[in-house]
Structure 1
C-alpha cells in the first residue's frame, strides 16, 4: 500500500512530460529536499522516463543520487531537434546558418548517445526504447549507428528507432535528394548491425540511384514494426514489392514508385498511402495483409487521375477504420452500386473519416459508404477550401490540369435505404448552406439509430488566417439561427438524434484525433 501511495504521489508531482526544460528542473529542485527526495529510485526513474532528454541531463546537477539515475532509464529518446534553437526557425534558404546549428545538434546527439549508453550496466535494466533522431550529415550518423549497434549487442533492447533527417526539408530538388540518398546508403552499409535490430525507421527526402537499395532496407531490417518513407524514390521508377514478417505499420507519403505491392505482410495493421500525384492510377496493390485494420489514403487529384474503386482495392482486406483525404480538390473515389459479391469488402468498416472535401458540391455521393458498410458506426466529414494551399489562378490551374468540377455524382439504387448501426455523425466546417443541411437530413433519415449529430464551426488554419475566404462563412452562431437550421434539417422526419452546434475552440477529445493533419 505504501508503494502504491508513493507512485500516486510521484504521478501528481510529475504527471506530464515537461514543455520547457526550466520548468521541469525547477520542480525537481524545489522538491529535492522535500517529498520527492524520499521516493525510491524506481519511482524517480519512472519520473525521468517521462521527461525529454535535455530535462533528464539537467537533473544530474541536483545531487550525486540524481546523477546516477539516467543510467537506469528504460526509455532513451535523443533527438537533434531538441538541440536546435526553438525561438527562431531557420528556413532552407538560410542554409549556411542552418548547417552550423545542425552540425552542433548532431554532435550533441553523438555525445549524448555515447554517454548514456557507456554508463549502463550490460546486465542491468532492460532498455525498453532507444530512439535517436539525427541529421544525415558528415560522420555523425555512422558514429550513432555504431554506438546503437554495440548497445544492441551488449544490452537487452526491446525497441530501437532511427529518424533520419535532412538539412533541407521543403525545397528539395532532385540533386539534393540524390545527395541525401548517397549519404544514407553509405550510412546503411556501415551500420548493418544496427539496422538489423531496428524496430522503427523513418526516412525522408531520399532518392536512390539503384532500385535494390529500397529492397535492401526491407531485407536487412528484419525486426521493423514501423517503416516510413516521405518524399522518397529511385532514379528509375520501380515496383516496390513489400514482403516482411514483422512489419505492422507502413507509411508512404509523397513518394514516386511505379507501384507498391504489399505482397506478403502478415502482421500489417496500419497503412498510410498519401499522394500519388505523378501516377494516373492509384499505384497500390494489397496482397496478403489479413490483419489490415486502419487505412489512410489521400491525394490531390487532377484531370489525369483516374477514379479509384475501393471495392477492387480492398477485396482481400477487413479494414475497420478508413480515412480518405481530398486536399480540397477533385473527388477521386468512385461511388459504386455494389453487387453481393463486392459487398463483403466493407462489412468490417466501423469508422470513416472524409477529409478536406471541396466546398459547394453535392454530398450525396458519401451515402455510398452507408449503403456499402452496414456496420459503420461513426462518420466524420470535413468540408473546407484552404485558399492558403490551393492554386487559385485560373491560368495556373489550367496548366496544372486542375479540375473545374470537383464533385462526383451518384444515385442510390435503393429509395428506402435504412442503416441500423450508425450512431454518430460529425461534420467539421459546417455551414448553413442548402447542400449541407440537406445532406445531414439525408443521413438522419437513413440512420434510424443515430444518436448524435455534431456540427462544428470552421476549423482555424494559421496559414489561412490572413487570407480572404473564398466566400462568406455561414455557421449559425445565435440560438435563433441554430433553431432555424435544425428545423430545416429535421423537417418532418422522425429521428431521436440530438443535434449539437459546436465552436472549434473547444473540441471534444474523441473528435480531436479526426481533425485533418497533412491530408
Structure 2
C-alpha cells in the first residue's frame, strides 16, 4: 500500500512537470521566492524557471526561521537579511538572468548592513537594462510609540543613504512604503520632489519630520498619484503642489486636529479617505476646511472606527468640494447612533449616486485598551431640523449592519423621500437586510416615511 502511494505521488509530479513553461511559471508566480528556489533545486525540470520570471517578489519575511522569526529584533532581522541577500544574488546573477524583470518588489530593512549589497546588486542589473519597475518596502508595522526616537532617526538615515547611493534604483522606483522613520524635513521633501522622480505611490506609517512638525510638499514635477499616511505625528501636512495626486488617505493621526491642508495645487485629486478614532485631547474638524479648494473629488470615505464622530456640523460650506461627489462611504458608525445627520452631507452633494453606510456593532467585544485611549463615543451634533429637502440623484443605498431600529427606519425613509431614483424594490430592500418586507412597509407607514408621506422625522 505504501509503495502504491509513492508511485501515485511520483506519477502526479510527472504530470505537473510535463506542463509547458508558461503554465509552470504561472504556478511559481503564485508562491513566494523561497518556495520557488526550492522547486528549482528539487527538480531538473523546474531548475531554469526562476530566472524566467518577469515579476519578482523578494520578501524578508519569507526567510524567517524559528526561533529567529521576530522582525522587531535586530539579530532576527540580520539573519533574515543575510538569506534575502543570497536570494537576490542568485536571482539577479547576469549569467542566468536572460529575461527582463518588468516588476521587482523588495521588502527589507534599509538601515541594515546587508541592504548595501542588495542595493549594489539591483543597481547593476538596472544599469544592464534588466529591471524596469521597482516597489520598495522598508520596515515593519509596529505599535505606535513602541519604536524609540533613535531607531526612527536611524531608519530615516538608512533610507536617505540607500536612495542617494543607488540612483538607478531611485529612478525606477514607482512605489515606496516606509515604516517608523523620522526624517529631516528637507530630506523627506527631496525624496518626493527630486530623488524618486518616477514615484507613483508613497505610504508613510509612523513617520514624521519631528514630533508635531509641519511638513510642506511642493513638488511640481512629481508623478505621485497616491499618498497615504497612517499613525504619523505631523502637526500638519500641507500639500502646496502635487499636480498628479489622485488619491489621498489619512488614518489615525496623532495631532490635536486633522493634520492635512489641501489649499494648494492638487487639481487631479479624486478620492479621499480618512479613518481614525479620536483621543480625548483631539478636536473635531470641519470637512470643508480640509477639502477647501478642491472641486474634482468624486469618492469620499470616512471611517469613525466605532467611536466619536469627528465631524463638526456644517452644510452649505460643503457645496463647492462636494459639487462632483458621486460616491460617499461612511464606515463604522456606532450602532447606537442615529443616522439622520448624514442627510446634510447628501444635500450638499448634487451629483451623489452611491451611498454606503456601515454600522459598527461590536459592543460585546470592546477593547478595554481602546476605551482608555479613545474619546467617549458621541454622535454628530448636527441639528436635524436644519436639514433641507433638496431632491437627490441617489440611485444606490447600502447599509451594512442594518437593524430595524427606529433610527435606521427614519434614516431610510428620509433618504427615500429625497431620492426619487432610489427604487424601493424587493431586491434593494433585501440588500439592506430587511427580511420581513410587509412588516417593514407597515413600520414605514406608521412613522410616516414612505415616499410622498412628507417629512415627519
Q: Give the TM-score normalised by the residue count of structure 2.
A: 0.83
The correspondence for 1:56, drawn from 24, 28, 36, is 36
Q: For 2:205 and 2:141, how far apart are their aligned partners in 1? A: 14
| TM-fit CA distance, 1:266 | 2.0
Q: For 1:432 and 1:157, how far apart are their aligned partners in 2? A: 56
Q: For 1:145 and 1:362, how far apart are their aligned partners in 2? A: 54
Q: How many pairs align?
A: 433
1:211 lines up with 2:147 in the alignment? no
The correspondence for 1:37, drawn from 18, 34, 39, is 18
1:321 lines up with 2:299 in the alignment? yes
| TM-fit CA distance, 1:60 | 0.9
SS in 2 for 1:205: strand
2:60 is aligned to 80
Q: For 1:28 and 1:226, how far apart are their aligned partners in 2? A: 45
2:382 is aligned to 409
| TM-fit CA distance, 1:238 | 3.1
User: Please, which moves more after superposition, 315-324 or 108-117?
Assistant: 315-324
With over 3 angstroms needed to count, the CA separation of the structure-2 counterparts of 1:415 and 1:183, relative to structure 1, is: closer
SS in 1 for 2:89: helix
Render the CA deviation track for 1:81-139: whole Å, top value 9, x for unaligned.
12235x999678xx6xx4443322211211111111115667x4331111110134531
| TM-fit CA distance, 1:269 | 1.6
With over 3 angstroms needed to count, the CA separation of the structure-2 counterparts of 1:434 and 1:327, relative to structure 1, is: same
**Contact 1:281–1:308 (CA<8 Å) still a contact in 2?**
no
1:131 lines up with 2:105 in the alignment? yes
Q: For 1:50 and 1:368, how far apart are their aligned partners in 2? A: 47
1:158 is aligned to 132
1:354 is aligned to 330
With over 3 angstroms needed to count, the CA separation of the structure-2 counterparts of 1:428 and 1:167, relative to structure 1, is: closer
Q: For 1:448 and 1:375, how far apart are their aligned partners in 2? A: 14
With over 3 angstroms needed to count, the CA separation of the structure-2 counterparts of 1:261 and 1:197, relative to structure 1, is: same
**Contact 1:323–1:354 (CA<8 Å) still a contact in 2?**
yes
Render the CA deviation track for 1:389-445: whole Å, top value 9, x for unaligned.
46676xx57xx7x3464432134656543212x222222222332212211222222
With over 3 angstroms needed to count, the CA separation of the structure-2 counterparts of 1:277 and 1:252, relative to structure 1, is: same
Q: For 2:444 and 2:34, how far apart are their aligned partners in 1? A: 54
1:440 is aligned to 412
**Contact 1:306–1:332 (CA<8 Å) still a contact in 2?**
yes
User: Please, which moves more after superposition, 145-154 or 218-227?
Assistant: 145-154
Which structure 2 residue ranges, 5 or more long, are not aligned?
A: 1-7, 453-457
1:177 lines up with 2:158 in the alignment? no
1:258 is aligned to 235
2:247 is aligned to 270
**Contact 2:307–2:377 (CA<8 Å) still a contact in 1?**
no
SS in 2 for 1:111: helix
1:5 is aligned to none
1:231 is aligned to 206
With over 3 angstroms needed to count, the CA separation of the structure-2 counterparts of 1:223 and 1:392, relative to structure 1, is: closer
Q: For 1:436 and 1:162, how far apart are their aligned partners in 2? A: 45
1:147 lines up with 2:121 in the alignment? yes
Q: For 1:73 and 1:90, how far apart are their aligned partners in 2? A: 28
Q: For 1:426 and 1:490, how far apart are their aligned partners in 2? A: 21
With over 3 angstroms needed to count, the CA separation of the structure-2 counterparts of 1:120 and 1:269, relative to structure 1, is: farther
SS in 1 for 2:330: strand
Render the CA deviation track for 1:258-317: whole Å, top value 9, x for unaligned.
322222222222111123332335433252222222211123234541422336614323
SS in 1 for 2:104: strand
The correspondence for 2:226, drawn from 240, 249, 267, is 249
SS in 1 for 2:264: strand
With over 3 angstroms needed to count, the CA separation of the structure-2 counterparts of 1:167 and 1:239, relative to structure 1, is: closer
1:338 lines up with 2:316 in the alignment? yes
**Contact 1:29–1:62 (CA<8 Å) still a contact in 2?**
no
Q: For 1:84 and 1:450, how far apart are their aligned partners in 2? A: 53
SS in 2 for 1:81: helix
1:111 is aligned to 86
1:285 lines up with 2:262 in the alignment? yes
SS in 2 for 1:118: coil
| TM-fit CA distance, 1:247 | 0.9
Render the CA deviation track for 1:2-28: whole Å, top value 9, x for unaligned.
xxxxxxxxxxxxxxxxxxxxxxxxx99
Query: Residues 408-487 of structure 1: matches in 2 within 5 Å?
Result: 408-411=381-384, 415-420=388-393, 422-451=394-423, 452-453=428-429, 484-485=439-440, 487=442
SS in 2 for 1:144: helix
